[in-house]
Every structure is written in C-alpha cells, then in structure tokens.
A = this chain, B = another copy of it.
C-alpha cells in the first residue's frame, strides 16, 4: 500500500473549464495482487474530446478520463515484466494497480521519442489517419481543407493529405502556428481565422473547391467550408470544438449538402481498429523519414494536467498538448 495523486472532476464546468472544476486528491493505491500490475505515469495526454465528456459520462469525484503512457513498477501478471512500458486509458492517475486489461505493451521504435506514441503514433494520429483516409475516402490529388490544422489531429491530417499529393489548406488561430504549417509542415495555404474574414479567406484559398473538409470546429468554419464543397465532397466530423464550451453559433449552410451530394460522417478513433497495423507501419515510416513533422507543448508535472486541458480551449498548444511526469 502506498499513496499517490489523482486529478478528479469535482464540478461540471460552465463554458471553458477553470482550475476549481478539478481537485488534486491523494489516494491509497494497493500493491499489485495476484494477476495484477502497478503502473507509474510517465506521460499523460489532454485532448479536446474530453470537454463534452465533462458534461456527460465523466463521473464527479472520480479520476479524470484520459490516455497515458506509464511504466510497470510491480507485476504479478505473467504478461508484464517490471520496467515494461504500457499505454492505457485509465486517466489522470500518478500510480494505479490493475489486472492488466486495457494495458497495451509498447515496444517503441528506438529512433522515435516515447511521447509520439501519445499523438502521431497514438490516438490522435489514428484519428487523423482513419478519419481522412477511411471516413473521408481521400483520393490522391484532391482538394483538402483542415480546420485546427495546428492541433494534434489537424496537423497530422494536413500532412497525410500532402503526402497523398493533395492541395492542402489549413486554418489556425495564430500567426506562429500558421508559419509552422506553411514553412515546416508544407501546407499550400494557411488561414488565420482570428485575423482574416473566414468565409472570404476559405473561398480565396480553395480556387478548385473542397473535396474533403476535415471538421474539427463546427460553426462558422463549417459554414465557410459548405460554401466551397465540390460535388460528392466528404466532411469527416472529428470534432466541433467551437460548440464544446457552449454559445456556438448555429450552422446555416447545410442545404449545400443536397445538390453537392455531400456526405458528413461522425467518427471516433476506436472505429479504426482494423486499420491499426497499417497505420503504425505507415506512420512510423513517415515520422522516421521526416515526411510528418509535429510539435509538442509539454507541461511539466502531474499536477499540471487541468491547466493543460484548459489551455487547449485557449489555443495555448502548438500541436499536441502533453503532461510529462517522469522518464
């Protein structure tokens, strides 16, 4: 028996979450019993999908949902050895004891940093890969528009599209992110939606229309994209961050779906299990040969997780927001 910290949701947020919606709690952690392992957190992931779940299935007074990478520090389960690296979905816990279910043993590529297994080679990369290629049914050379292109999912979407020979336009909320997207990630055009009139900028940046709009935002972004969709265009709906904290504007241009015969389709990363092996092979190659670049915004210390989550909705991340606990 020992004690370790957890982050609990203690109040449903109103709008953008604030620090007082969360509490840092010291909890008793049992030693690993027969068949069990104990895992110590190394990295934790904070992601936009968490926000709607704070209003829904995230229990109050319980550890926050979320994914992370940890190291096995005790094992009485023959599948795991002390020192093994595991990826899990057990949330914001500094230390936990489990029966091994839901722990995925990682054998990270020695040429890649461990943290990429929480983004480009993790759930956000899988979301980008399956959302663009399967739900979006991307064809080589098409016209692609990606919202929140500076984020963990969007930046991977944009670069996969570029690898597939597409013309890629991204939107983002800062000039620094726009410069990275243009100069490092190699996008064909980038819109700063905070400083440019969105609909006009999207129209000007997509002279051949849009075949695939990768939707992370909703609201005015969706309206602007709908005006430019080509016949038989696809809109994979990954997220609608503009609506998560309430007060989003309504969408007006959905009638454009009709004559455009456009398909909008919601999805989540767990839909793509059947793509996992191909995804890992493709993405490992793309990362190692530098075809996919990434940015990380890393906050140090377990207790920084709420700040990281809040920061997502204030645009404080460039690329993937991560919490680093230990090496």
Q: Which residues of A contact B (CB under 8 A)?
A: 52, 218, 222, 237-240, 243-244, 248-252, 254-268, 271
Contacts and interface: CB of A to CB of B under 8 A. Distances in A.
Identical copies in the complex: 2
A263 B260 contact: no
A240 B248 CA distance: 21
Which of A237, A239, A271 has most chain B Cβ within 10 Å?
A237
A148 to B, nearest CB: 14
A266 B271 contact: no
A118 to B, nearest CB: 21
A263 B263 contact: yes
Given A243-B252, A252-B248, A238 B218 contact: no
B268 A255 contact: no
B250 A261 contact: no
Contacts of A259: 52, 266, 268
A255 B222 contact: no
Q: Among the interface residues A243, A256, A263, A268, which one has the most CB atoms of the partner chain B within 10 A?
A: A263
A170 to B, nearest CB: 20
Contacts of A249: 250
Nearest to A240: B255
Given A250-B250, A252-B248, A258 B263 contact: no
Contacts of A222: 254
A47 to B, nearest CB: 13
Contact of A258 (B240, B256, B258): B240
Nearest 4 CB-CB pairs, A to B? Answer: A250-B250, A257-B266, A258-B266, A240-B255
B254 A260 contact: no
Nearest to A233: B266
20 contacts: A52-B259, A218-B254, A222-B254, A237-B257, A237-B258, A238-B258, A239-B255, A240-B254, A243-B254, A243-B255, A250-B250, A250-B251, A251-B251, A251-B254, A256-B266, A257-B264, A258-B266, A263-B264, A263-B266, A264-B264
A258 B239 contact: yes
Contacts of A248: 252
Given A243-B252, A252-B248, A267 B271 contact: no
Contacts of A257: 237, 264-266
Given A249-B250, A250-B249, A260 B266 contact: yes
A16 B180 CA distance: 48
A251 B252 CA distance: 7
A11 B238 CA distance: 42
